[in-house]
Chains A and B, each alone.
Chain A
Amino acid sequence: MPRVRTTKALAQRIDLNYFKRQIPLRRWRFWLCLLLPLASFLWIGWKLAARDYRPYSSGPLSAGHVLLTRDCTTCHVAEKNAVFTEHASDKACKTCHDGPIHQTIQVREPECGSCHIEHRGASRLIATSNQSCAQCHANLETAPGSTTRYVKTISAFNTDHPEMAIFRATSPKDPVTIKVNHYVHMKKNLLGPNGQKVDLECKDCHRQPASREAWKYGSTEAMPVSTPAASAPAIKADLYAPDPSRALMTMPKFTEACSACHLLQFDKRFAEQVPHDKPEVVRAFVVKKLEAYIAAHPAELREQPEEDRRLPSRPAPPAARVVTPAQWVAERTKEAESLLWGKTCRQCHSITITEGQPLPKVADANYTLRWLPRARFDHDAHRGFACASCHPNALKSQDSAELLLPKLATCKDCHAPGPAHVESRCFECHAYHDWSKRKEVTPTYRPSVLHAQVSSPNPPGQ
């Protein structure tokens, strides 16, 4: 008799309460549903009880703050009036850092945390986004009653950063008074010292102060020491040139860059050159040299005219004269000075000879060491480049009034957003805090990491 398979027979095999029983699948589900949330609850609770807030950290701290990883409360402090929140407020930052104000006329002062984003890993805290600056500078306002000379809208370097201020003047020019024709100097086969033909390189004149390389075209003999007044101005180290020995180029000194070719001979009787110094010093030197010469060669006092080789129709040369040493010196000095002031010195300097003034006035060199007072530029960081790749005009410039400073476009070739370019955010060149107004802060932080090691209860530094 075949097996029956009717609805009733099938249904009556089933216990009607089967769905209320626990089967392995449901049991597992139940226990897992109980245990997993419980485990997470316990984990949270345990961390809370141990006052370990690290799970809540939204990312690793920057390199400078890494020691604070376990001391969340150092920064996350409750403000007086805050009910619930414990954000990392300015107050917390200022327990260790001073953040001097940017400009006194600024309209609002953003919070430390709005520009310096923590918990982003070991990146530099200083690496703020353009927005941090643009929050004011995109539409610059100043405190009522004050004005600013800065452009109103600057949002990013690659978009609307204005051209260098010097270039925005009506007729931008280099105020330097030393006349240098770069084009001539950069020609090939120049007449060099000792009659050789030379090719000049940029670095033969323009170097970083820390450079120890020998000046090729500097003077070999000991030159009289220049007076401090004539020495090149020193570059003060500040935020924008923290290491002046490398960031900017020195002013080329005559004795280092020029003197090998540009000889300061004043008289054919002497091989020596006049010192490269103020006019009075030069005059004193010339006079001294002449006096010493005439004392040694009194025969020169008699000025023997040369054999007359002129044509008969010409008037006769003057008769021989005998002059006093003083006269002779004066005459020769006059000759030397006219050579010097009129030709030699004037070749480079701006000399003003005023009637009635015995000595000419030499204009101050007015050499600009720092073209960008409010931005940081470091030649050392750019040492991989050939000078001409940024200063192409230097090779062609014939006028020293021509500004050889590269325009912004040159910078933008490399400093642009994108993977194949270099940092172009504001902080790369500019700083917010006016560090000249820096105040000292005495931090009281003691890292918990060291708790076990530090025996003295006093924090370091006190």
Chain B
Amino acid sequence: MSTLFGTFLGPMVQLTIDGKEVAAPASATIFDAARAHGITIPTLCHMQNETPVGVCRLCVVEAGGRVLSASCVRQVENGMKILTNSDRVVAARKTLLEMLMADHPSPCARERHSGDCELEMQARNHGITESRYPKRYFTRPKDDSSLAIAVDHEACILCDRCIRACNEIRQNLVLGRMGKGGGAGIAFDLNNPMGESSCISCGECMVSCPTGALTNKRIAGTELPIPAGAVPAEPEDLLELPVFKGVSGTFLEMNKGAIVKRVFNAGDVICREGEFGSTAFYIAEGKAAVSISTPMAHVKTSGGAAGWFSRLTSSLTGRDSDVRDEETSQTYIPIDASVDLAYGNPVAELGPGDLFGEMTCMSFYPRSATVKALTDCTMYEMLRNVLDILLKNKSFRARLGKEYKRRALETHLRGVPMFSELSPDFVERLMDNVKLIRLSPGQVICKQGEPADSFYLVRIGFVKVTESFPGGELVIAYLSRGDSFGEIGLLGAGARTATCIALDHVELCKISAEDFNAMVNQFPGVRRGLQALADERQRQNAERMAALGTISLDSFLGQGLMEAQSLLVLDLVRCTRCDACVRACADAHDGVTRLVREGQRFDQFLVATSCRHCKDPLCMVGCPVGSIRRRNSLEVIIEDWCIGCGLCARNCPYGNINLHPFEVMGDDPNNPGRRIAMVKQKATSCDLCTEHAEPSCVYACPHDAAHRVDPRKFFAELLGTKVV
């Protein structure tokens, strides 16, 4: 018997448990002593690997005292007489269980999924089917914010296991207690939603939880289909990978279906741009080429107006036929990987340890590029919950964070001409000081008016920048991968001029104020560039704010006309429905019209379906390659590297963006080395024909019925407002 405890456990004591004489080390608890001798005492809050706390009181036994003792904390003493199943003990247990079951949302999540909710099992074992006590009168919330773990506070019995798991075992120090009395509960950080806390989804709390309070979150309806040549990744194999070090094995076991191991041969296409997906890839071995194979060109269809002898025989026009005067020299295209693609030669390489497809996996955006294996590769394809675990894993962050920072600083920071003069030393220094921070959807990065303390680069995700004004909030911009913000506050008065919110899963490189100031002081060129950018942004903001007015008309707003900066209105009293505007638009855009003569009416005008160049451009959110962007704060344009995923078309609430198929010659996947005609898509929208003085539709209307107008000025009389 003493061998059970080892020889180092010290002196033994003698006691009686349920009439049985046993000997146990003096430091042992009653529970352990009983268990060593084959007697199981039911518990809820006690876990073997955690320090016992004795909060549930289910393990109470008669120990000869006035009150029952919690066996998990009570140390054995010599000569104790323990009764683990006396009537009093059983009555106490039953009462406890009844009370707990009164509030328990039976059957809880765990009971439903795996039938092994400890509380309910215990209740069943004790013959408790119904509780006589009323349920508590308020409902405790559910917390769905974490990607991996579902929290149901209703089912929580405050057993403290998760807290001990997180603090003692994993030492992540995320969980704690909060509140008191009936309002007591578990909290993540300072009672943040779990997904927004510092929880790294190791899963330890979940495997500790006896009930369905913390359960494994399954992505609804999916387990990863296992394609040919793939095997579900075994948790043991995964744990061998350095990036999974520190992740709870049980957790991985529970999420077994969510990550598969795939082997690709050289030349295999792993994913194609524009496809929708929900997985990310981690390259374990091998190299892959990532590229954009959609031609860099604008859509053109021939056979414009005379539909008589043409189907849609599309072709593409080179950039010079659609040149805009303000040509920003785009040097790179941001994609959903740790590299960016140079505009002139959109091909890059990914190697072992690289992760790609994050945005697709986390936020369900379309794939931003085509990945083809250069050598034979081994990759892990995972769903969102596993990615979340991976990304939050300390060792992963330690390894890859550095790479991300480097790439972010090099491509985004130095890739922008403004920052190009930064010296490599300075960049090295920055790298050490820069932090990568993760944000979940809706999280506020900075608030308008707060003191400015950092400068941010967006590594992944979309950030919404808004400014509040007397009438509400105005969206200034949507920033995505490669954009920077925060300089206005730092260069200016020191207070934030706008509120920045993460729209989806965002990762930012945060550069502190000292480093920022050092940067601008050391490199005057950078200061000038940033100042110019800041001034430009402020000027545009000032314009927008000044032009707002205080209009509130229901139908005007109801149609979203307030949002528009430029509307195409057709005066129905003059319009003869001759389609000259549509034909002109098609002619100006190589046979593809950007305008549809349908929509809702406002007064005597038809508000045509043609890009409204909204102040809050919802279309821009989510573009995987950042090709839909704004120019001069007015027109929204779609650049020629659009990969045709269609997200912007879905996002536009007015249906102003359309996708057009066209044929290109591409590599035949079935016959390598041969080319086959494939149908691809690109998105198009009205670009206000800026190369001309007047939009073509307005120019070509013979009855003077088409007008491109600023809605507030145009309808000012109607709305009874002053034109500002």
Interface residues of A (CB under 8 A from B): 5-14, 16-17, 19-22, 30
Interface residues of B in 558-574 (CB under 8 A from A): 559
Name the B residues within 8 Å of A11 (CB-CB).
Answer: 596, 598-599, 609, 654-656
| B-side interface mostly | loop
Of the residues A9, A19, A22, A30, contact of B583 by C-beta under 8 Å: A19
Shortest distance in angstroms between B696's beta carbon and chain A's nearest beta carbon? Answer: 14
A19 near B579 with CB under 8 A, answer yes
A192→B598 CA distance, assembly (Å): 111
In the complex, whether B289 has a CB less than 8 A from a CB of chain A is: no
Do A19 and B654 form a contact, CB below 8 Å, given A7-B609, A10-B599?
no
A-B CB contact pairs (8 Å), 21 listed = A6-B600, A6-B653, A6-B654, A7-B598, A7-B599, A7-B609, A8-B653, A8-B654, A9-B655, A11-B609, A12-B655, A14-B598, A16-B593, A17-B307, A17-B312, A19-B586, A20-B303, A20-B304, A20-B308, A20-B586, A30-B308
In the complex, whether B306 has a CB less than 8 A from a CB of chain A is: yes
In the complex, whether B721 has a CB less than 8 A from a CB of chain A is: no
From A10, A13, A19, name the one whose CB has the most chain B CB atoms within 10 angstroms: A19
B598 near A20 with CB under 8 A, answer no
Do A22 and B593 form a contact, CB below 8 Å, given A7-B599, A7-B607?
no
Of the residues A6, A14, A20, A30, contact of B596 by C-beta under 8 Å: A14
Name the A residues within 8 Å of B658 (CB-CB).
Answer: 16
Of the residues B303, B307, B599, B655, contact of A19 by C-beta under 8 Å: B307
Name the B residues within 8 Å of A10 (CB-CB).
Answer: 598-600, 609, 655
Shortest distance in angstroms between A24's beta carbon and chain B's nearest beta carbon? Answer: 14
Name the A residues within 8 Å of B583 (CB-CB).
Answer: 19
Of the residues B305, B312, B592, B600, contact of A7 by C-beta under 8 Å: B600
Name the A residues within 8 Å of B582 (CB-CB).
Answer: 19
Q: Apart from A6-B654, A7-B609, list 6 A-B contacts with CB within 8 A.
A: A7-B599, A10-B598, A10-B599, A10-B655, A11-B599, A20-B306
A37→B654 CA distance, assembly (Å): 45
Shortest distance in angstroms between A9's beta carbon and chain B's nearest beta carbon? Answer: 8
A439→B659 CA distance, assembly (Å): 90
Shortest distance in angstroms between A213's beta carbon and chain B's nearest beta carbon? Answer: 83
B593 near A19 with CB under 8 A, answer yes
In the complex, whether B652 has a CB less than 8 A from a CB of chain A is: yes
Shortest distance in angstroms between A136's beta carbon and chain B's nearest beta carbon? Answer: 56
Name the A residues within 8 Å of B559 (CB-CB).
Answer: 7
A16 near B596 with CB under 8 A, answer yes
A12→B596 CA distance, assembly (Å): 9
A21→B658 CA distance, assembly (Å): 19
Name the A residues within 8 Å of B592 (CB-CB).
Answer: 16
A21→B310 CA distance, assembly (Å): 9
Name the B residues within 8 Å of A20 (CB-CB).
Answer: 303-308, 310, 586
**In chain A, what residue has the closest Cβ to B559?**
A7
Shortest distance in angstroms between A243's beta carbon and chain B's nearest beta carbon? Answer: 71
A16→B299 CA distance, assembly (Å): 14
Name the A residues within 8 Å of B598 (CB-CB).
Answer: 7, 10-11, 13-14
Do A8 and B305 form a contact, CB below 8 Å, given A16-B593, A19-B583?
no
Shortest distance in angstroms between A29's beta carbon and chain B's nearest beta carbon? Answer: 12
From A7, A13, A21, A30, name the one whose CB has the most chain B CB atoms within 10 angstroms: A7
Shortest distance in angstroms between A1's beta carbon and chain B's nearest beta carbon? Answer: 18
Do A8 and B586 form a contact, CB below 8 Å, given A20-B306, A20-B310, A22-B307?
no
**In chain B, what residue has the closest Cβ to A5?**
B600
A67→B609 CA distance, assembly (Å): 70
Shortest distance in angstroms between B663's beta carbon and chain A's nearest beta carbon? Answer: 16
A14→B598 CA distance, assembly (Å): 8
A22 near B308 with CB under 8 A, answer yes
Shortest distance in angstroms between B689's beta carbon and chain A's nearest beta carbon? Answer: 18
Interface residues of B in 581-612 (CB under 8 A from A): 582-583, 586, 592-593, 596, 598-600, 607, 609
Name the B residues within 8 Å of A6 (CB-CB).
Answer: 600, 653-654
A22→B582 CA distance, assembly (Å): 15
Of the residues A5, A7, A21, A30, contact of B654 by C-beta under 8 Å: A7
A363→B596 CA distance, assembly (Å): 112
Of the residues A5, A7, A22, contact of B655 by C-beta under 8 Å: A7
Shortest distance in angstroms between B592's beta carbon and chain A's nearest beta carbon? Answer: 8
**In chain A, what residue has the closest Cβ to B658?**
A16
A7→B611 CA distance, assembly (Å): 12
A8→B586 CA distance, assembly (Å): 20
**In chain B, what residue has the closest Cβ to A27?**
B308
Name the A residues within 8 Å of B305 (CB-CB).
Answer: 19-20
Q: Which 5 A-B pairs have the closest CB atoms?
A: A20-B307, A8-B655, A11-B609, A11-B655, A7-B654
**In chain A, what residue has the closest Cβ to B303?**
A20
Interface residues of B in 640-668 (CB under 8 A from A): 652-656, 658, 660
A21 near B307 with CB under 8 A, answer yes
Shortest distance in angstroms between B655's beta carbon and chain A's nearest beta carbon? Answer: 4
**In chain A, what residue has the closest Cβ to B306?**
A20
Bits for B237-261, please: 1 = Cβ < 8 Å to A, else 0: 0000000000000000000000000
Name the B residues within 8 Å of A7 (CB-CB).
Answer: 559, 598-600, 607, 609, 653-655
Name the A residues within 8 Å of B600 (CB-CB).
Answer: 5-7, 10
**In chain A, what residue has the closest Cβ to B578?**
A19
A20→B559 CA distance, assembly (Å): 30
B596 near A8 with CB under 8 A, answer no
**In chain B, what residue has the closest Cβ to A22?**
B308
Name the A residues within 8 Å of B655 (CB-CB).
Answer: 7-12
Interface residues of B in 410-442 (CB under 8 A from A): none
Shortest distance in angstroms between A170's beta carbon and chain B's nearest beta carbon? Answer: 79
A9→B579 CA distance, assembly (Å): 20
Bits for B531-560, please: 1 = Cβ < 8 Å to A, else 0: 000000000000000000000000000010
Do A8 and B652 form a contact, CB below 8 Å, given A14-B598, A19-B586?
yes
A394→B79 CA distance, assembly (Å): 187
A5→B655 CA distance, assembly (Å): 13
A70→B596 CA distance, assembly (Å): 60
Shortest distance in angstroms between B343's beta carbon and chain A's nearest beta carbon? Answer: 29
Name the A residues within 8 Å of B306 (CB-CB).
Answer: 20
A6→B303 CA distance, assembly (Å): 31
Name the B residues within 8 Å of A19 (CB-CB).
Answer: 305, 307, 579, 582-583, 586, 593
A341→B107 CA distance, assembly (Å): 173
Name the A residues within 8 Å of B310 (CB-CB).
Answer: 20
A19→B652 CA distance, assembly (Å): 24
Shortest distance in angstroms between B495's beta carbon and chain A's nearest beta carbon? Answer: 39
Name the A residues within 8 Å of B303 (CB-CB).
Answer: 20
Shortest distance in angstroms between A273's beta carbon and chain B's nearest beta carbon? Answer: 104
Name the A residues within 8 Å of B312 (CB-CB).
Answer: 17
Shortest distance in angstroms between B681's beta carbon and chain A's nearest beta carbon? Answer: 13
**In chain B, what residue has the closest Cβ to A12?**
B655
**In chain A, what residue has the closest Cβ to B591?**
A20
A30→B600 CA distance, assembly (Å): 32
A7→B310 CA distance, assembly (Å): 29
Shortest distance in angstroms between A10's beta carbon and chain B's nearest beta carbon? Answer: 5
**In chain A, what residue has the closest Cβ to B310?**
A20
**In chain B, what residue has the closest Cβ to A8?**
B655
A9→B653 CA distance, assembly (Å): 9
A5→B593 CA distance, assembly (Å): 23
**In chain A, what residue has the closest Cβ to B312?**
A17
A19→B607 CA distance, assembly (Å): 19
Name the B residues within 8 Å of A9 (CB-CB).
Answer: 655
**In chain B, what residue has the closest Cβ to A10?**
B598
Name the A residues within 8 Å of B656 (CB-CB).
Answer: 11
Interface residues of B in 301-339 (CB under 8 A from A): 303-308, 310, 312
A19→B307 CA distance, assembly (Å): 7
From A6, A11, A12, name the one whose CB has the most chain B CB atoms within 10 angstroms: A11
Name the B residues within 8 Å of A22 (CB-CB).
Answer: 307-308
Shortest distance in angstroms between A7's beta carbon and chain B's nearest beta carbon? Answer: 4
A6→B278 CA distance, assembly (Å): 30
A6→B560 CA distance, assembly (Å): 11
Name the A residues within 8 Å of B607 (CB-CB).
Answer: 7
Bits for B191-225, please: 1 = Cβ < 8 Å to A, else 0: 00000000000000000000000000000000000
